[in-house]
């Protein structure tokens, strides 16, 4: 494992609760099943953290999603225009296609990144619980 437990990236990449990093954050682990890709568990099944901290909490994830989208768009444009030598129109079409394909994943990523801004990892010794 590249990212150690206790880092925010561990929680984000492995779909884990930001607080205990044991319970799953999203209900669906299989990224090819689109239907429930954005459904959160209500609470962490390990530490009981409420994932919906306040009503409309994930509204703010939209800003994270925007940043991710811009980063992907810029990267796609550079690859298409500079490295693949596509025309300007073709490069923009490539951006649209790539963003459409990534949208579910960026939405999902933005939610787990967003909650990681607010909840810090707390180590609990399993022997003391
Ligand atoms: Zn937890």
What residue ranges in 1-129 does DSSP mark as E strands?
A: none
Q: Is-contact 126 55, C-beta < 8 A?
A: no
CA atoms of 43 and 32, how far apart (whole Å): 23
- The pTM (predicted TM-score) of the whole model is 0.88
Q: What is the pLDDT of residues 72-126, one digit of tens each?
A: 999 999 999 999 999 999 999 999 999 999 998 999 999 999 999 999 999 876 6
CA of 102 to the centre of ligand 1 (A): 27
Q: Residue ranges of the domains in the chain?
A: 8-128
Query: In terms of Cα–Cα distance, which of 72, 65, 22, 30 is closest to 47?
Result: 22
CA of 46 to the centre of ligand 1 (A): 5
């Amino acid at each position: 494992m590249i990212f150690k437990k206790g880092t925010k990236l561990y929680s984000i990449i492995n779909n884990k609760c930001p607080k205990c990093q044991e319970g799953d954050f999203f209900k669906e682990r299989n990224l090819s099943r689109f239907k429930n890709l954005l459904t959160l568990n209500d609470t962490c099944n390990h530490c009981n953290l409420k994932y919906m901290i306040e009503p409309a909490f994930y509204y703010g994830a939209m800003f994270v999603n925007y940043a991710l989208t811009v980063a992907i768009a810029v990267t796609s444009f550079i690859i298409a225009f500079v490295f693949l030598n596509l025309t300007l129109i073709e490069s923009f079409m490539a951006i649209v296609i790539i963003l459409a394909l990534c949208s579910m994943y960026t939405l999902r990523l933005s939610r787990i990144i967003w909650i990681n801004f607010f909840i810090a990892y707390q180590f609990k010794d399993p022997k003391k619980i």
